[in-house]
């Protein structure tokens, strides 16, 4: 009985994947024919099935960009970049999309380590760093076994040095993985979807307005109270915004 259920599950997943591929190609054709709204509908159907990818989010971002919808465009480019931080096409299109945003936020100066982390370490997601850890652990183990069974002193020395180097790199990659995972889970980023919204100094409507934000601005979510989110901007400003006016960028 379990085998039958397992086979049914495999067949169902296969059919679902085929349907998603068909929808994806149809949506791409609609995009090429400049029917962007209809293309978005099909891309959204794929997203609702949970069959997401960097390519899907990239195409959604492009579709919204063509419709001059700044918030959704930046949102989906950011999601595509989280799935694949090395995708240069997404990076380039995100730059163009951000030029449409009204808010120009001056970032606070970063330390040398923060710059190194952003420019190099964050080029891989924590899942990709986890793969690096696994590869290094397997490679180090194989090299250690070769060292153990080797007879010639020069060969044993070579295997010992390379296996030791692998395990040192493994420890470093493991620390980076935990650091990237912690940053990913603690730093909840979001994109403003409201065309214009007032940010207040407390989570109430009668509190003071401290600054205004527009569609497409990226914020860091620090806290939540009822239907309010406490946010922080890249320039260090902090305030409270209505939760429905921003959309959280999920981490992967």
Q: Over 50: is that where the pLDDT of 7 sits? A: no
Supply the pTM of this predicted model: 0.76
Q: Where are the domains of the chain?
A: 2-98, 112-186, 189-248
Q: Over 90: is that where the pLDDT of 174 sits? A: yes
Write the pLDDT tens digit of every residue in 219-241: 999 999 999 999 999 999 999 99
CATH tag, 189-248: 2.30.30.40
Top pLDDT among 62 and 188 is at 62
- For residue 66, give both structure tokens: 């063509």
Cβ contacts of 147 within 8 Å, gap of 6 or more: 156, 159, 160, 163
Give the whole-angstrom CA distance, residue 237 versus residue 203: 15
Residue positions counted in the chain: 252
Give the whole-angstrom CA distance, residue 1 versus residue 249: 41
Write the pLDDT tens digit of every residue in 25-61: 999 999 999 999 999 999 999 999 888 899 999 999 9
Nearest to 216 by CA among 93, 71, 100, 60: 71
Give the whole-angstrom CA distance, residue 186 versus residue 179: 11
Superfamily of domain 2-98: Tetratricopeptide repeat domain (1.25.40.10)
Write the pLDDT tens digit of every residue in 82-107: 888 889 999 999 999 999 999 988 88
């Amino acid at each position: 009985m379990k085998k039958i259920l397992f086979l049914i599950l495999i067949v169902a997943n296969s059919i679902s994947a085929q349907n998603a591929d068909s929808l994806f190609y149809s949506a791409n054709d609609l995009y090429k024919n400049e029917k962007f709204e209809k293309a978005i509908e099909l891309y959204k159907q794929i997203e609702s099935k949970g069959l997401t990818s960097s390519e899907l989010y990239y195409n959604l971002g492009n579709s919204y960009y063509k419709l001059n919808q700044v918030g959704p465009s930046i949102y989906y480019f950011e999601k595509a970049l989280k799935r694949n931080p090395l995708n240069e096409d997404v990076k380039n299109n995100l730059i163009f999309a951000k030029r449409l945003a009204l808010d120009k936020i001056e970032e606070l100066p970063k330390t040398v380590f923060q710059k190194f982390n952003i420019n190099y370490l964050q080029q891989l997601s924590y899942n990709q760093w986890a793969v690096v850890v696994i590869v290094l652990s397997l490679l180090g183990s194989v090299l250690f076994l070769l060292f153990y069974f080797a007879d010639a002193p020069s060969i044993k020395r070579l295997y010992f040095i390379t296996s030791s180097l692998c395990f040192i790199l493994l420890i470093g990659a493991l620390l980076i993985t935990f650091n990237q995972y912690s940053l990913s889970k603690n730093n909840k980023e979001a994109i403003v979807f409201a065309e214009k919204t007032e940010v207040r100094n407390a989570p109430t409507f009668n509190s003071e307005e401290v600054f205004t934000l527009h569609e497409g601005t990226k914020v860091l979510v620090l806290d939540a109270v009822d239907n309010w989110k406490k946010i922080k901007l890249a320039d260090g400003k902090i305030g409270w915004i209505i939760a429905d006016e921003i959309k959280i960028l999920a981490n992967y």
